[in-house]
Amino acid sequence: MLRLTVSGPPGSGTSTLVSKLCDERGWSSINGGDVFREEASRRGLSVEGFSALCKQDLDVDRSLDTLLKQVLTDLDGPEVVESRLCGWWAHELGLECLRVWVAVSDEERASRIQNREGGDYGTCLALSQQRQRDDMARYCVLYDIDLNDMAPYSLVVDADELDADEVFRMVSSELVD
């Protein structure tokens, strides 16, 4: 049964946070990014190519989001769902769970992405900012959601100056067993 949603932009540390929480508590999780990558692979597309398809055919995004909404409400589903919009979905569905947003600046995201994937910092920054703009525009068109609106979240963690363990401790302390 769902206990927690974790959301944040790419490079914010959501996957690390979910991994630490699940390891500590013996919980299972589903990652919306993994679902996205698996669907891209199933279609024989790169992540970038699949993202471009999603921009052209909004029904592709809707179908993936419908799948995540079903996971959120499945009593036999994972305890943790991680995706950019899962906190919004849990809020809209009236689900009782902790809804976390991990916030980081554009610069910190670019630095983390560069450390994880390599490449030039300036390129990582530009690509990260463009992806964020594209995603924000798509979510606004699809669902009238503004990713800058933190109202659906019960906990917003500013992780710019925090390491992964500090974010983990902060979120873990908010969880009710």
pLDDT digits (tens, 9 = 90+) for 109-166: 899 889 888 999 999 899 889 888 888 988 999 999 999 999 999 999 999 999 999 9
Residue type, 97: C
Q: Output the pLDDT for position 140.
A: 92
- How many Cβ atoms are within 10 Å of 62's Cβ, its own excluded? 13
Q: Residue 26 has which token pair? A: 């013996």
Tokens of 151: 């109202």
| Averaged pLDDT for residues 89-96 | 95
pLDDT (average), residues 70-79 = 94
What CA–CA distance (Å, rounded) separates 88 from 147?
9
Spatial contact of 31 and 84, defined as CB atoms under 8 Å apart: no
Question: Rounded to an integer, what distance in angstroms lies between the CA atom of residue 52 and that of residue 64?
Answer: 15
Neighbours of 56 (CB within 10 A): 7
CA 86, CA 143: separation in Å to the nearest integer?
13
Domain boundaries 4-166, CATH class: alpha beta
Integer angstrom CA distances of residue 14 from 89, 168, 176: 17, 10, 19
pLDDT band at 177 (very low <50, low <70, confident <90, very high): low
- Average pLDDT, integer, range 25-38: 92
**Residue boundaries of the structural domains of the chain:** 4-166
* pLDDT-above-90 percentage for the chain: 67
Question: What is the pLDDT at residue 101?
Answer: 98
Which residues lie closer than 8 Å to 22 by C-beta, 6 or more apart? 28, 29, 79, 80
